Amino acid sequence: MFARADRMIAELAAGEQRWAQTTLPQRVALLAEVHAAVAAQAEAWATTASRIKGLDADSPLGGEEWISGPYPLLTAAATLQQSLTRISRGTSPLAGARFGRAPGGRVTVRVLPHTAHEALLLHGFTAEVWMPPGVTADTVRSRAGLAELHPERTGGIGLVLGAGNITSIPPLDVLYELVAHNRVVLLKLNPVLEAMLPVYQAALAPLIEHGVLRILTGDGILGGYLAHHPGIVHVHITGSAATHDVVVYGAGPAGAERRAGGSPLLAKPITSELGGVAPIIVLPGNWSRRDLRYQAEHVATQRLHNGGYNCIAGQVVVLSRDWAQKDAFLVELRAAIGRTPARPAWYPGSDGRVAKAAAAYPGAERLGDGGRLLVVVGAGDPSAITATETFSPVLGVIELPGTGAEFLHAAVETVNRDFLGTLGANIIAEPRTIKSLGAGFREAVARLRYGTIAINTWTGLGFLTAAAPWGAYPGHTIDDVQSGIGIVHNALLIDSPERTVVSGPFRPFPHSVLHGEFALFPKPPWFVTSRSGAATGRLLSRFAAHPSWLRMPRVFASAFRA
């Protein structure tokens, strides 16, 4: 096992020299080959991922494996091609980008929609990158490109310890290491996704054949060996903070002692994406019955997509105890969780984590098939649900006093202070409520310390947006890693962003337009209650493989059957 790993690292050392000699136009061509190879493997990809997770690939839930599998890799490869093409022509990847302003002297960059196709396909959704205070638009433009501004300066061999939950994460991390950091890559798959190895090998064959990628499978012992291997200069991990600490400090009591003493074993840089407890802040307003039902399904999706095994799954709903419609919303939330299609508890340890949450909250409600837990904390201690990532179909609800600006302020302060992690936060608010808050709403968004903030959509859209950076809020260290260090995705290669803010319509079409929102998007295909998820996911991936205006009507026709 170790001998094979050593051989791969030696091969990558030679591959680094080839990568240094690979010109920008050649890299663009290589990414085009990857795009074509992923498109050719898309069906096998979605089918294999569905089998791993115990899903019927043709069921509505099978659509998740298209939309979070080949689709984001196809869009990332295409966007990276555009970025490198612009750099090769002496312009910035952000040439022509729309810049704006945010509170605190922040410059913003619009990254969704990024193309004319996206403007129609995701009509009503936007994403903007907020830079740290004081960074100018000229600086953002000139620094965009990262390591591709000097492609001949390679960065050694990077190790990617792949995620085990979402199948696009390992190859997306590979592309970011290779392009943004100019490091050739050794990818070790999580054992949970070992069956994806043949798909990955075929989809990423152009990189393997070029000598800049090697893929292997193995357990944590192999992962530890690779992380400390002298031929590896950098480690990137997607997983849990506990796994991160084992890599950095070692396992068992000795590792805990080294962590307490600030004495890491790992003598090289490490970046990470580690999840956390994502809040869903619901601002009180005057909602219709249709609004209550739709937003309850929205919240259920944020928790139950992929069975609840997402680093960005919404975990705790923050409600106003003074909201007149609070109880009505909770009735709809229970119903939405209950009618979500049943699925296996496929991720290892899920049942134990659900049982632990049930023990911490004896009054928790079992919904649906009994494997989903709703914890309404009330006057109890919220720490068990706000300080631990459950990584399972467990959804918590806490209540805070106040309405309007008072409630929003309390919610921001609470989640910043008490919730584990900083990967993503969600806000749901009726447009009139946002308007009534004026500039205070955007100022509250600025105070939220999260890497991605979603307003009337799910932070999962930020994950799916190729041009958007993805990662924890900046500033974590290995001894207090929270949701991780560094960013990925970011196909426009923006240097040192602070956060991404994504926004969507409060209501789906046609009710969005009837209530004054100009948004033509129906119920999103990623909703766990979507009836056409598989068909729409397949069509979206085929569109990303071969974008064409002529393909768009079929995508919309399927989406409207959700």
pLDDT of residue 73: 98
pTM attached to this predicted model: 0.97
Q: Calculate the average pLDDT of the chain.
A: 96
Predicted confidence (pLDDT) per residue in 266-319, tens digit: 999 999 999 999 999 999 999 999 999 999 999 999 999 999 999 999 999 999
pLDDT tens string 330-346: 999 999 999 999 999 99
The answer to which of 215-224, 298-307, 507-516 has the lowest mean pLDDT is: 507-516
Sorted by where each begins, the domain ranges of the chain are 278-453+471-498+505-515
Helix (H, G, I), strand (E, B) or coil at 372: strand
Distance CA(227)–CA(239), nearest Å, equals 15
Helix (H, G, I), strand (E, B) or coil at 320: strand
As a whole number, mean pLDDT of residues 397-407 equals: 97
pLDDT tens, 228-240? Answer: 999 999 999 999 9
Residue 380 predicted with pLDDT over 70 = no
For 4, the 3-state DSSP assignment is helix
User: What secondary structure does DSSP assign to 185-239, as a single string?
Assistant: EEEEE-GGGGGGHHHHHHHTHHHHHTTSEEEEE--HHHHHHHHT-TT--EEEEES
| Cα radius of gyration (the chain) | 22
On the question of pLDDT at 381 being above 80, the answer is no
Residues 6+ apart with CB under 8 A from 203: 34, 37, 38, 40, 41, 45, 70, 73, 171
DSSP one-letter code for 538: H
What pLDDT is recorded for position 378? 76
242-257 pLDDT, tens digit per residue, is: 999 999 999 999 889 9
Confidence at residue 562, expressed as pLDDT on a 0 to 100 scale = 81
Whether the per-residue pLDDT at 96 is higher than 80: the answer is yes
Quick check: helix, strand or coil at residue 284?
A: coil
- CATH of region 278-453+471-498+505-515: 3.40.309.10
- The span from the CA of 135 to the CA of 118, in Å, is 28
**Residue 562 DSSP label:** -
Tokens found for residue 389: 């990532």
Distance CA(197)–CA(200), nearest Å, equals 5
Q: Which helix (H) or strand (E) holds 453?
A: strand 452-455
Q: Write the pLDDT tens digit of every residue in 138-178.
A: 999 999 999 999 999 999 999 999 999 999 999 999 999 99
pLDDT of residue 512: 85
- Quick: pLDDT tens for 57-68: 889 999 999 999
Residue 516 has pLDDT above 90, yes or no: no
% of the chain at pLDDT higher than 70: 100
Q: Would the pLDDT of 513 be above 90?
A: no
Helix runs in 21-156, H state only:
24-52, 63-67, 70-88, 116-121, 137-143
Is the pLDDT score of 1 beyond 80? no
CB 506 within 8 A of CB 493: no
Banded model confidence at residue 379, pLDDT cuts 50, 70, 90: low
Cα distance between residue 32 and residue 148, in whole Å: 17
The per-residue pLDDT for 519 is 86
pLDDT digits (tens, 9 = 90+) for 486-503: 999 999 999 999 999 999
